[in-house]
Amino acid sequence: MSGELSPIDQAKFVAAKKAVEYVEDGMRVGLGTGSTAAWMVRCLGEMVREDGLRIKGVPTSTRTAALAQELGIDVVSLDEAKWLDLTIDGADEFDGELNLIKGGGGALLQEKIVATASDQMIVIADVGKEVESLGHFPLPIEVIPFGWQTTRALVEEMLVSMDVLGRDVTLRMSGDRPYVTDEGNHILDLHLGRIGNPRQLSMVLNQVPGVVENGLFIDICDIVCVGYGDGRVEVRDINDGTVRQDRLDFVESDNLFSDLSD
């Protein structure tokens, strides 16, 4: 596989491969959305097919649900599962306290609901996603379509009093139309540059009428598996304060990953 993957994809793969080691038979597992999470779903699919792993997967988007079903993972809704043992998902950014920005893939609402309904959340990411301060990646917020321009104006006004570098707010588009989430909402991307107080910003954003949820995940992530292009993976556990290093070997195979393109 090493000859087939770019260094960034190798990093995503080893992070995903390490994270699925936490999955045990009989677990109810939240399945994240995005390019890195797709590697994780593929790894779980391989375990289901080759090792007989039995899990209930709760997807965070329609595209994750489709991929999981294709790979033979038993997919159920969160209402059916009620509570999850573990959620594994990617992140657009993470800081030293394992606070996250998520939502680049447009699924932040379902992702946050699923993550907070879990005993544990593991984030998988390549090393390029680590930042000293959150905010370089645009912060997504999900808003209802009704009056979204008024909501944007209220958010821009609120940002004046926040500890951020920029205050540009744009409507996410899909071609020539506004992007629509699985819940039928729109997404505003906040180009902030740096977020000085993510906890405060998260709380204030959710008080703005029309805002459904924001992409700041504060005190939700427990473990991050950081992948490197040479096969190294670093596991950081915020609860026990440990950092562990490992290295995963690549093998040539025509398995479930052969047709995956990020």
**Domain co-membership, 107 together with 223:** yes
Catalytic residues: 111
Residue 261 lies in a domain: no
- pLDDT (tens digit, 9 = 90+) per residue, 193-220? 999 999 999 999 999 999 999 999 999 9
Instruction: Verify that 52 and 96 share a domain, yes or no.
Output: yes
Give me the sheet containing 242-247, strands edge to edge: 74-75, 56-59, 28-31, 86-89, 121-126, 223-227, 232-237, 242-247
Q: 115 and 39 in one domain? A: yes
Q: What is the pTM of this model?
A: 0.93
Whether residue 233 lies inside any domain: the answer is yes
Give the whole-angstrom CA distance, residue 204 versus residue 159. Answer: 9
| Together in a domain, 153 and 58 | no
Q: Is the domain of 239 the same as that of 111?
A: yes
The reported pLDDT for the residue numbered 13 is 96
Domain range enclosing 144: 139-213
Cβ 29 vs Cβ 56: under 8 Å: yes
For residue 103, tell me if it sits in a domain.
yes
Torsion sign, CA atoms 136, 197, 89, 156: negative
Q: Count the helix, strand and coil residues of the chain and give each as a percent rounded to the nearest 5.
A: 30, 25, 45
Residues forming a β-bridge with 191:
168
Q: Are 223 and 209 within one domain?
A: no
Amino acid identity at 134: L
> How far is Cα 180 from Cα 136, in angstroms, rounded to an integer?
24
Same-domain check for residues 190 and 170: yes
How many structural domains does the chain have?
2
Are 123 and 145 in the same domain? no
Give the CATH number for residue 20.
3.40.50.1360
Residue 137 token pair: 């990646």
pLDDT tens sequence across 50-103: 999 999 999 999 999 999 999 999 999 999 999 999 999 999 999 999 999 999
Look at residue 187 and tell me whether its pLDDT is greater than 70: yes
Q: What are φ and ψ of residue 8, in 5° steps?
A: -70, -40
| Same domain, residue pair 176 and 204 | yes
Q: Which residue(s) pair with 3 in the sheet?
A: none
Give the per-residue pLDDT at 1: 44
**Which CATH number goes with the domain that contains 167?**
3.30.70.260
Q: So what's the pLDDT on residue 257?
A: 53
Contact 44, 54 (CB under 8 A): no
In a domain, residue 255? The reply is no
Closest by CA to 137, choosing from 193, 97, 98, is 193
Q: Return the pLDDT at 3.
A: 52
Q: List residues forming the annotated binding site for substrate.
A: 33-36, 89-92, 102-105, 129
Q: How far apart are CA 89 and CA 72, in angstroms?
A: 19
126 and 183 in a single domain? The answer is no
* 216-217 and 100-101 strand pairing: antiparallel
What is the reported pLDDT for 248?
Answer: 86
Burial class of residue 230 in the structure, from the number of CB atoms within 10 Å of its CB (0-12 exposed, 13-18 middle, 19+ buried): exposed
Q: What is the pLDDT of residue 2?
A: 44
Whether residues 201 and 187 share a domain: the answer is: yes
Quick check: is 254 in a domain? no
Binding site as annotated, residues: 33-36, 89-92, 102-105, 129
On whether residue 167 sits in a domain, the answer given is yes
**C-alpha to C-alpha distance for 130 and 96, rounded to whole angstroms:** 8
Same domain for 228 and 163 = no
Asked whether residue 1 is domain-assigned, the answer is no
Residue 204, domain member (yes or no)? yes
pLDDT at 249 (0 to 100)? 75
Q: Is the pLDDT of residue 117 over 90?
A: yes
